[in-house]
Chain A
Amino acid sequence: MPGKLKVKIIAGRNLPVMDRSSDTTDAFVEIKLGSTTYKTDVCRKSLNPQWNSDWYKFEMEDSELQDEPLQIRLMDYDTYSANDAIGKVYLNLNPLLLPSSLAVSHDPSSCSASSVKGISINGWLPVYDTMHGIRGEVSIVVKLELFEDFNKFRQSSCGIQFFSSNFIPEGYTLKTVHGFVEELVFADDPEYQWIDKIRTPRSTNEARQTLFFKLNGEVKRKIGLKVLDLGANAVVGYRQCFDLEGECGVVVRGLGTAVTLDVTSIPTSPDSSGKTLAPREKENGEKDPICRRSSDSDISVTPRGNSLSIEKGKLHITPQRPLDSFDMVGDYPFLTLTKYPPGFVQHVAGMVSARGVKLLGVDEAETRDSWWTELRLEVRSHARALSCNAVIAYTEHTTVCEDVCILSASGTAAVIDHKDYEVVPMLSPDANGCKVYHVPYNEISHPFKMKLAKCSQCKKGKVGEVLMTSAELMDGVKVIHKSGLIQAIVCRHKRECKGELNAKEVSDALPFLEYELHTQLMHKLSAAGANAIVGLRVELCLGERVLIGHATGTAVTLAALPAPTSPIDLEEAHSSDDDECEDLLKELELSSGNKDTCLLEISDNGAANNITIIGAPPDGYLVSTTQCIPGAIDQGLTPVRNLQMFTQLWKARMCPLPSSATISAQFNRLLQGVYFKLRGMTPCALVNLRFKIDIPQQDDLQISVVGMVVGLAESEKKIDNNEDGKMERLVEESSSKNSTPIYRPVRKSIHTPPKEQRYGVDVTPLHYVAGGKIVSYLGNLNFFFIRESSCIRETGGLSAFSHGFVAEVLAIVRAHVTAIGGNALVSYTMSECHLTNNAHKNQAQCLLNVGGDAVFVSYSE
């Protein structure tokens, strides 16, 4: 399906002065796509040049259109010496390739079944230079004409829409879940090539940026092919990560869930059934293994023997029991969404995870694929051991230090409904939703004594003592008042060594770290008086001398689970049977398919003393790591509007061997800082908090927090909470007031739902916009930027440098969203933020990877 791309350069504004003698610039533009380059005329002596160029035409294969960003470079013309670069714009063309069949359009007549809609990108885009940041803007118009082509051997996969959203995008209904899709692309990192020694930092950085943009397109295109193979038409819960492996290269991983989505119609289009049929036809067509090389190795071999799993801190070894339902969702029954339509998930068992320590060498993509395959198989077997047929809220994560890499895969084992998810069963009013948290396995089948209790709601099913899940809270589940942020941080010191020794050192330390993390979580959970953690994320960070693990989640008290034990009772409870399992040998036996299992039985009586209760947020703040706010309804508050997306970046030199407590204290302080800064916005909820620990250089500790502030208002109808519950809460609140800092007195909310269009572009890490309705999805955007400076002190220090850079990247993101016709970016993620500096050389470099779904939001009722 070749396409013709037309580009017009209209004007520039606010360009920098490039010619000092005349205080002006002679600007011209180079437009590059693939191997074709065009140039505009030189617009002499103007900082606000007008080009009004003709249409530059590029004829491209659509696979190239998917891979290649359009590169627009502004240059300053110089008669005698080489032309100077002003800066660049990278334009992702994928929004132009979106299928109209999936476009939720304001005008139903404009979306015809299988034609590709020709939208255009047009607007002012910031011109970015890696050494100077944003240097003015350029106004361009880009249009695409695609020719129909039904060649099924094609390499392109346009027409597949990607959503970062962790839930079914607004305006769509889920027809079918096809399963897990992933792709991994490996490339040499330009920064580590020999040529880097002779070229300027600018050209290196630009080479890297260009490469990263291309890899981003390539990964998406390849995933798209797999999605087509599966007969799906979209990817939801899409995540993309860049693993910078230093000298070894760079790995780009994308993962998501292939689904067939249908536009929630509005009975206007009679051909809506045809829309979903179109991709299905392809499904029936022969799959061609030659032209669609899938990156993962064949995993038809099912693991033999017993598998083991970690769930709620207890070990289970269950006999292998093949479950037919596995076949339903692809090779791996993994779903990356964190929230599901009601009735889809039937049971949630608990967290399952697998980790591997690898020594990086000059390997290929295949090697890395096999590593991940190993981990996924392990996760799958853990899920099976829990009699589950799927893993939901699945994520993968890596941390690299020198040549040692820790890979982690984790998710929540669950039993899900059939793959063809058709009807939305309305929850019957008498059902109290507790069923979802009943254990899916038979108590007797376990060789260990487990503490299962009768469900305290329905008195029928069995439930675990506590529950940890990476997913959001299920709809319709009864929660007893409390919720709050819970986190555990463990920092283990290790010897500084190289290569294989280092890998061994790390893998020896891992089990202990996990155990400690888990213990901390359990203690904090009971200290918080809760019995479940939702939205739990565990991430590791490897440094030269430390290994840091941190877990963050939202503690809730589920009505179904047994009432939480108070901290005093805890010790007693623990000493009875708290079993922890680890497969200590897994990392070293890379080839083994059949793993030995060993059991760790630890009675931890002394552990209770390392409880450090995390500072509760001051009044007026609700905090959670999930997208919804578990405690809000309970306090009679509802989210009414988006206030702010924020990024907090903190970096310091740490003492060579920091303790867990120091880092934990630092986390606390960061949170206090955020509360303090937002003091003018209460009552508000801080949702979808994402913490990231990084050790960019030896002895440097970097913590970043990305979150969303949502304004709360008293809901109009008071919930008829039973009186005693309310009393209890009141008592609690008054008692907590003494202990928590109050930055301003309790007051009535001043937040009102947004009336009309919100100013500018709203960026939010949530999949919804409070107080607004997402009308259309305009494309999944992903940006990778590098900024470097060799005059840090002169420009206000490292803080000013990173502040400016993050602000610039946000500005670029907003401009691109505007250019494709959006007014918000949802499901925003910052998946990489890497800041390195050299104080002596007065230099610093920062890498930032952000992304999300560009959408148009309507605020009118």
Chain B
Amino acid sequence: MIPDVDVFISNYTIVDPEVYKLWVDGYTADEAVEVVHRNVFKNAECTLELVRSDVFDHYRTYDLLEKMLHNPPKLAEQLHFQIEPLTRQLLIEKYYEFDDNVIREILGKKLTSRYRKDLDEVSDKTGVCLKSCRRQFDNVKRIFKAVEDLQGSVIQNIRNLYLLPEELAKKYGAVVFMACLRFETNKRKLLYLTFDDFYECASAIMHHWTYPSGTWDHDDIDLDREFLLELREIRALMEKEKELKHLVCSKIKSQMLDKAYHELEYNFRIYSRSLISIGCNLHRNRDLKDLFLDLVEKCIEPWKQVNWTQNDLKAFLGAYKVGALQLDTLRDADVKQAWERYMMVLTCCLLRMYHN
């Protein structure tokens, strides 16, 4: 007999982490039954049927819960399901977890329902279920909409509104930040970058380039405008190129192989110019958006061509930053500070983006 109704309801909602994971990952109930059946201890002759009934129960519960998962604080308030706090935390955490490669695709895209329709491409590319892609897209969009216009630290806001653990909230914070500033991430040249690369870069920018925490308008989505304007002053370094080259080269000579060193000596001008010009133009929105593209085109590609190692890069950027400070061009303390803030992020980003 195929039952019309076969349900199991418990007073405290039971969540099976394994089945829940499958549900979150977008498996259909039937696929989930197969997966669970493969892993379960097989002994009874009717195991498949039992597994099916069990998995279907879980799926029904999760389907009923899904709407409330969209607003996690409501999950604690609602009376419909009695969920113990630990279970509740698990439900929320797993629901908001995402696949890095899916989010990498979504990064920089406009979060519109039109794009939602194109998610099957993302699904094909990443091998993640369409349903799961949609969930991840919806989660990002929901969180983005909720915190976009809120005051205060975006990460803290996400933690409060979605009860997420800190790590996850930071990731969402970075995604929201990237979306707010509309960073270009999808040009062909940028495709090699992973979500983690962007996450680290965005975190660095959020940390160093926004209004510092403690000030009244602290908000880690908005960049510190005054700082960006201040950065224009570093153009002065271009005029002192010779001195700068000298300082840097003398510092770095011992740390680099001869070949690389000679190459640096030869091309210093180009490298220095691109670093400075990127900084100078950041106050222009268009240039800010293209930050990552500029970094790749102007810095990373040339270094790649000459086969720099990570160490070379690190040594160079360190020396370059210190060298500039030693010049008396950057006399103003504000400009000095701006230079440091700028280079801190740039070092971080470039090192991260420079894959071997």
B9 and A647 within 8 A (CB): yes
A803 and B7 within 8 A (CB): yes
Binary interface encoding of chain A residues 796-808 relative to chain B, with 1 for a CB under 8 A from any of its CBs, else 0: 1011101110111
Query: Cβ of B322 < 8 Å from any Cβ of A?
Result: no
For the complex, what is the distance from the CA of A137 to the CA of B80, rounded to whole Å?
10
List residues of chain A with CB within 8 A of the CB of B57: 677, 803
| Distance between A511 CB and nearest chain B CB, rounded to angstroms | 29
Out of B12, B44, B63, B74, name the residue touching A644 (CB < 8 Å).
B12
List residues of chain A with CB within 8 A of the CB of B56: 799
Residue of B nearest to A815 (CB): B79
Query: Cβ of A305 < 8 Å from any Cβ of B?
Result: no
Query: Cβ of B266 < 8 Å from any Cβ of A?
Result: no
Q: A799-B60, A803-B64 are in contact. Are A763 and B11 (CB under 8 A)?
A: yes
**Total interface residues on A, using CB and 8 Å?**
56
Query: Cβ of B186 < 8 Å from any Cβ of A?
Result: no
| Distance between A49 CB and nearest chain B CB, rounded to angstroms | 16
A743 and B43 within 8 A (CB): yes
| Distance between A853 CB and nearest chain B CB, rounded to angstroms | 15
Binary interface encoding of chain A residues 350-370 relative to chain B, with 1 for a CB under 8 A from any of its CBs, else 0: 000000000000000000000
Query: Cβ of A651 < 8 Å from any Cβ of B?
Result: yes
Q: A14-B74, A742-B41 are in contact. Are A673 and B8 (CB under 8 A)?
A: yes
A677 and B4 within 8 A (CB): no
For the complex, what is the distance from the CA of A590 to the CA of B3, rounded to whole Å?
40
Binary interface encoding of chain B residues 46-60 relative to chain A, with 1 for a CB under 8 A from any of its CBs, else 0: 110111011011001
| Distance between B53 CB and nearest chain A CB, rounded to angstroms | 5
List residues of chain A with CB within 8 A of the CB of B43: 741-743
Q: A652-B2, A677-B57 are in contact. Are A803 and B9 (CB under 8 A)?
A: yes
Binary interface encoding of chain A residues 5-31 relative to chain B, with 1 for a CB under 8 A from any of its CBs, else 0: 000000001100000000000000000
| Distance between A653 CB and nearest chain B CB, rounded to angstroms | 7
A137 and B79 within 8 A (CB): yes
Residue of A nearest to B45 (CB): A741
Query: Cβ of B196 < 8 Å from any Cβ of A?
Result: no
Identify the stretch in B81-89, B152-160, B283-291 within 8 Å (CB) of chain A at 4 or more residues.
B81-89
- The residues in B between 1 and 21 inclusive whose CB is less than 8 angstroms from any CB of A are 1-12, 14, 16
Out of B1, B8, B12, B14, name the residue touching A674 (CB < 8 Å).
B8
For the complex, what is the distance from the CA of A675 to the CA of B63, rounded to whole Å?
24
Binary interface encoding of chain A residues 629-650 relative to chain B, with 1 for a CB under 8 A from any of its CBs, else 0: 0000000000000001111111
A811 and B79 within 8 A (CB): yes
| Distance between A662 CB and nearest chain B CB, rounded to angstroms | 8
Residue of B nearest to A644 (CB): B10
- The residues in B between 67 and 110 inclusive whose CB is less than 8 angstroms from any CB of A are 74, 77-82, 84-85
B5 and A759 within 8 A (CB): no
A835 and B10 within 8 A (CB): no
For the complex, what is the distance from the CA of A759 to the CA of B60, rounded to whole Å?
23
Query: Cβ of B347 < 8 Å from any Cβ of A?
Result: no
Query: Cβ of A372 < 8 Å from any Cβ of B?
Result: no
- The residues in A between 665 and 695 inclusive whose CB is less than 8 angstroms from any CB of B are 666, 669, 672-674, 676-677, 680
Out of A647, A677, A803, name the residue touching B60 (CB < 8 Å).
A803
| Distance between A584 CB and nearest chain B CB, rounded to angstroms | 34
List residues of chain B with CB within 8 A of the CB of A644: 10-12, 14
Query: Cβ of B281 < 8 Å from any Cβ of A?
Result: no
List residues of chain A with CB within 8 A of the CB of B44: 672, 676, 741
Query: Cβ of A293 < 8 Å from any Cβ of B?
Result: no
Q: A653-B1, A799-B56 are in contact. Are A810 and B50 (CB under 8 A)?
A: no
Query: Cβ of B329 < 8 Å from any Cβ of A?
Result: no
Query: Cβ of A769 < 8 Å from any Cβ of B?
Result: no
A759 and B1 within 8 A (CB): no
List residues of chain B with CB within 8 A of the CB of A796: 60, 63
**Total interface residues on B, using CB and 8 Å?**
40
B1 and A799 within 8 A (CB): no
Query: Cβ of B61 < 8 Å from any Cβ of A?
Result: yes
Q: A669-B49, A673-B53 are in contact. Are A646 and B79 (CB under 8 A)?
A: no
For the complex, what is the distance from the CA of A277 to the CA of B235, rounded to whole Å?
100
For the complex, what is the distance from the CA of A799 to the CA of B3, rounded to whole Å?
9
B4 and A653 within 8 A (CB): yes
A673 and B80 within 8 A (CB): no
Out of A14, A652, A680, name the residue touching B1 (CB < 8 Å).
A652
Query: Cβ of A654 < 8 Å from any Cβ of B?
Result: yes
Query: Cβ of A744 < 8 Å from any Cβ of B?
Result: yes
List residues of chain A with CB within 8 A of the CB of B16: 680
Q: A646-B10, A672-B50, A760-B12 are in contact. Are A798 and B79 (CB under 8 A)?
A: no
Query: Cβ of A124 < 8 Å from any Cβ of B?
Result: yes
List residues of chain A with CB within 8 A of the CB of B79: 124, 126, 134, 137, 811-812, 814-815
Residue of A nearest to B78 (CB): A14
For the complex, what is the distance from the CA of A652 to the CA of B49, rounded to whole Å?
15
List residues of chain A with CB within 8 A of the CB of B47: 676, 741
Binary interface encoding of chain A residues 604-624 relative to chain B, with 1 for a CB under 8 A from any of its CBs, else 0: 000000000000000000000
For the complex, what is the distance from the CA of A391 to the CA of B109, rounded to whole Å?
76
List residues of chain B with CB within 8 A of the CB of A645: 10-11
| Distance between B63 CB and nearest chain A CB, rounded to angstroms | 7
For the complex, what is the distance from the CA of A615 to the CA of B211, rounded to whole Å?
69
Out of B8, B46, B60, name the residue touching A646 (CB < 8 Å).
B8
| Distance between B117 CB and nearest chain A CB, rounded to angstroms | 22
List residues of chain B with CB within 8 A of the CB of A812: 79
List residues of chain B with CB within 8 A of the CB of A760: 12, 82, 84
List residues of chain B with CB within 8 A of the CB of A701: 1
List residues of chain A with CB within 8 A of the CB of B8: 646-649, 673-674, 677
A651 and B5 within 8 A (CB): yes
For the complex, what is the distance from the CA of A647 to the CA of B7, rounded to whole Å?
8
Query: Cβ of A664 < 8 Å from any Cβ of B?
Result: no
A677 and B54 within 8 A (CB): yes
For the complex, what is the distance from the CA of A82 to the CA of B5, rounded to whole Å?
37
| Distance between A174 CB and nearest chain B CB, rounded to angstroms | 30
| Distance between B12 CB and nearest chain A CB, rounded to angstroms | 6
Residue of A nearest to B42 (CB): A741
Query: Cβ of A129 < 8 Å from any Cβ of B?
Result: no
B5 and A649 within 8 A (CB): yes
For the complex, what is the distance from the CA of A804 to the CA of B9, rounded to whole Å?
9
Query: Cβ of A457 < 8 Å from any Cβ of B?
Result: no
Binary interface encoding of chain A residues 122-134 relative to chain B, with 1 for a CB under 8 A from any of its CBs, else 0: 0010100000001
B84 and A743 within 8 A (CB): no
Query: Cβ of A396 < 8 Å from any Cβ of B?
Result: no
Out of B14, B41, B46, B60, name the residue touching A744 (CB < 8 Å).
B41
Q: A126-B79, A742-B41, A761-B82 are in contact. Are A798 and B4 (CB under 8 A)?
A: yes
Query: Cβ of A762 < 8 Å from any Cβ of B?
Result: yes
A651 and B64 within 8 A (CB): no
| Distance between A667 CB and nearest chain B CB, rounded to angstroms | 12
List residues of chain B with CB within 8 A of the CB of A806: 7, 9
For the complex, what is the distance from the CA of A601 to the CA of B96, rounded to whole Å?
70
Residue of A nearest to B51 (CB): A676
List residues of chain A with CB within 8 A of the CB of B64: 800, 803-804, 807
| Distance between B43 CB and nearest chain A CB, rounded to angstroms | 4
| Distance between B278 CB and nearest chain A CB, rounded to angstroms | 46
Binary interface encoding of chain A residues 768-807 relative to chain B, with 1 for a CB under 8 A from any of its CBs, else 0: 0000000000000000000000000000101110111011
List residues of chain B with CB within 8 A of the CB of A798: 4-5
| Distance between A489 CB and nearest chain B CB, rounded to angstroms | 15
List residues of chain A with CB within 8 A of the CB of B40: 743
Q: Which residues of B contact A (CB under 8 A)?
A: 1-12, 14, 16, 40-41, 43-44, 46-47, 49-51, 53-54, 56-57, 60-61, 63-64, 74, 77-82, 84-85
Additional A-B contacts beyond A676-B47, A810-B82, A814-B11 (11; CB < 8 A) = A124-B79, A649-B7, A652-B3, A666-B1, A673-B54, A743-B43, A760-B12, A799-B56, A803-B9, A808-B80, A811-B80
A-B contacts, 10 of them at CB < 8 A, read A126-B80, A645-B10, A645-B11, A649-B9, A669-B46, A676-B44, A700-B4, A799-B6, A807-B64, A812-B79
In the A-B complex, the 7 residue pairs with the closest CB atoms: A741-B44, A651-B5, A741-B43, A652-B3, A676-B50, A652-B1, A803-B7
